[in-house]
Amino acid sequence: MQLSNSEEELMNHLWRLEKAFMKDLLEAYSDPKPAPTTLATLLKRMKDKGYIGYNIYGNSREYFPLIKKKDYFSKHVNSLIKNFFNDSASQFASFFTKATDLSKKELEELKAIIDSEIEKK
């Protein structure tokens, strides 16, 4: 199950903070800040989806991510490749290198990364 754009924004704050109470999460937003009830709804949905957990301290909940940002991003990219590029990483790479207008230096850096991965295999 994927996160909505609003949930993803909140998740980014939580990844950055690592653990946070509701007040910490509200402070992480720039103005206009979401209503506390909106944030509570998003947190409940994210908990139900299995992306976050919390510890209870009295009447307060301290939230923390259950998935690493890298793992979430990896799952997202793999889903993108599967759904939009016929499960072909090479089609994705071709599109990415052409559509993003990478500089020669960036392409060389990308090539070095790929060459390094080839050597490992």
35-69 pLDDT tens trace: 999 999 999 999 999 999 999 999 999 999 999 99
Sheet holding 60-65, edge to edge: 20-21, 60-65, 52-57
Q: Is the pLDDT of residue 100 over 80?
A: yes
Query: Tens of pLDDT along 68-77?
Result: 999 998 888 8
For the chain, helix (H) and strand (E) counts, in that order, are 6, 3
Mean pLDDT for the chain? 92
**CATH classification of 5-65, choosing from 1.10.10.10, 2.60.40.10, 3.30.420.40, 1.20.120.1460?**
1.10.10.10
Rg, C-alpha atoms of the chain:
19
pTM exceeding the 0.85 threshold for the entire prediction:
no
Domain segments of the chain as ranges: 5-65, 69-120
